[in-house]
Amino acid sequence: MSNVIENAGSYGASLAPTNGWCLNGVDPRTRLIAAFCFSMVVTALSSPTTLVAALGIAVVGAGWTGALTEQRWKRLIPINLLVLLLLGLLPLGGGATPVLSIGPITVAREGLVQAVLIGLKANAIVLGVLVLLARLEMASIGHALGTLGVPAKLTHLLLFTVRYLGVLQREYGRLRAAMKVRGFRPGVDWHTYRSFGYLVGMLLLRSVDRADRIVMAMKCRGFYDRFHPLDRAALTARDAWFTAIVLLVLAGLTVLEWA
Amino acid sequence: MHLHEAVLSDSPQGIGVLCLGAVGTLAGTALGLRAMDHEQVPRVALVSAVFFVVSLIHIPLGVTSIHLTLNGLVGLLLGWTAFPALLVALLLQAVLVGHGGLLALGFNTLAMALPAVAVFYLFQRMSESKHRSIHFFAGFTAGSSAILSSAFLISAALWVSGESFELAAKAVFLFHLAVAMIEGLVVGSTVVLLRQVCPERPFLTTPQGLQERM
């Protein structure tokens, strides 16, 4: 848990630029749009061969960019839990060709195939997005969204939220430690749920006070509804190359699917 | 519980659900942003951050454990502004933890935020009433009905997008019945605490301390 939040500042685990790392210097906007297009195209695919190809490309990309190192592979867990659930439930939904039947339960082939295809597609998308956005700071994603036409209030909301995730995480840690030294052990009872309710309430109250102090501090510094990012990046030749490669991959997948 | 676009994209109906979700979230977020002025941005952001941090806490339930969602509480505190707040929190969940996908963000936000807004109109007055005994009841019903409605919307989306999802849809809904119970107890206690500690302060006004101190 702490891992997630500590990494919230940057999309990747470390800020240190690695030598020769291939997506360095590609504009965040280009990468966001690429991730969106990749999701769109892969979502539209349906044939097994194309899905395997898409997953293959994502895996190769992950190997090439190191998108799965340093705990980042954990981001694949939630989606695969969902896929496991579907793998368990879809085959029981009935179908034309039963594979196995135990008493009243029939396992149908159609459901199995559907679940496997969903699993392939989901992993291809999640891994692809992970590769395309790897080592991008959440803050630069926020600024990129701002320049792409997302309303200023919404990007400010995103930037503030990212900024205070770590602070709240530490606040939560302190409150939880305070509960622990008083002998609190979570169980299945009213006391536990009430204590968690008070914990959430205290987190909210403290953050309201913090928010008010933030507003005052920002007013003191003359803030008026605009952030100035320090690295106002311009599109470069790298973006052109990156776009070309992504377009090539997407075109290849489309041709493989519909040709 | 968030859906992923890969699950819904099998059928035209599923894609329809994704588009509907995106349009609904767009409209709701536009309304929410209009209801929020610049000075309130930090407060709303901190509610988003609380939502995100709390979603990582595991609470025991029998042999397993669940995590809190608290969209009912966010609704009670923020009203229409729950749309942008939840949109941001779900975007962070998608990108940092891997819950849900970028294209399903619209639907997931709608499924969380629509019940939150409904809860605001139904229970907000009650949660600020002068009678202390109703606070817990208001919080409990707000918290549990919001999460149940969200689960209902998600199950309905699954159901609409294919007959084979029927069982999964039912399982999702049944599981959330138990979650709603706990969610209600927690949100009820939170409302009681908030009312006791600062009875006079509604959440989304411009900071009072600010005006006093200036």
Give the model confidence (pLDDT) of B148-207 as tens digits: 999 999 999 999 988 888 888 888 899 899 889 999 999 999 999 988 887 766 666 544
Q: What phi and psi, each to the nearest 5 degrees, are found at residue A71?
A: 75, -5
Can you give A68-93 as a three-state secondary structure string? Answer: CCCCHHHHHHHHHHHHHHHHHHHHHH
| CA-based nearest distance A164→chain B, Å | 7
ipTM of the complex, rounded to two decimals: 0.90
Q: What residues of chain A score a pLDDT lower than 70? A: 1-22, 94-96, 103, 225, 229-233
CA dist B117 and A141 (Å) reads 28
- A106 in contact with B, Cβ within 8 Å: no
Q: Is the pLDDT of residue B11 over 90?
A: no
Give the model confidence (pLDDT) of B112-123 as tens digits: 999 999 999 999
Residues 90-129 of B with CB under 8 A from A: 91-92, 95-99, 101-103
- For A59, counting Cβ atoms within 10 Å of its Cβ (0-12 exposed, 13-18 middle, 19+ buried), the class is middle
What are the structural domains of chain B? Answer: 8-207 (1.10.1760.20)
Instruction: Band the pLDDT of B130: cuts 50, 70, 90.
Output: confident
| CA-based nearest distance A22→chain B, Å | 21
Give the model confidence (pLDDT) of A92-150 as tens digits: 876 667 777 776 777 888 888 888 999 999 999 999 998 888 878 888 888 889 888 89
Interface mutation vs chain A, best among B69, B164, B200, most A CBs within 10 Å: B164
Q: Which two tokens stand for residue B93?
A: 């969940």
Residues 118-147 of A with CB under 8 A from B: 118, 121-122, 125-126, 129, 133, 138, 141
Annotated domain spans of chain A: 2-142+232-258, 151-220
Answer yes or no: do B48 and A196 touch at CB < 8 A.
no
Coil, strand or helix at B98: coil
* Shortest CA distance from B10: residue in chain A: A46
Cβ-proximal residues to B112 (8 Å cutoff; 6+ apart), any chain:
B69, B71, B86, B90, B150
Residues 23-82 of A with CB under 8 A from B: 35-36, 39-40, 43-44, 46, 74-79, 82
Can you give chain A as a three-state secondary structure string? Answer: CHHHHHHHHECCCCCCCCCCCCCCCCCHHHHHHHHHHHHHHHHHCCCHHHHHHHHHHHHHHHHHHCCCCCCHHHHHHHHHHHHHHHHHHHHHHCCCCEEEEECCEEEEHHHHHHHHHHHHHHHHHHHHHHHHCCCCEHHHHHHHHHHCCCCHHHHHHHHHHHHHHHHHHHHHHHHHHHHHHCCCCCCCCHHHHHHHHHHHHHHHHHHHHHHHHHHHHHHHCCCCCCCCCCCCCCCCHHHHHHHHHHHHHHHHHHHHHHC
CA dist A230 and A74 (Å) reads 31
pLDDT of residue A52: 93
Whose CA is closest to B87, among A134, A72, A256, A150?
A: A150
| CA-based nearest distance A39→chain B, Å | 7
- B81 in contact with A, Cβ within 8 Å: no
pLDDT of residue A35: 92
C-alpha count within 13 angstroms, C-beta hemisphere, residue B74:
34
- B154 in contact with A, Cβ within 8 Å: no
| CA-based nearest distance A17→chain B, Å | 20
- B194 in contact with A, Cβ within 8 Å: yes
CA dist A193 and B211 (Å) reads 36
- For B156, counting Cβ atoms within 10 Å of its Cβ (0-12 exposed, 13-18 middle, 19+ buried), the class is middle
Residues 19-38 of B with CB under 8 A from A: 29, 33, 36, 38
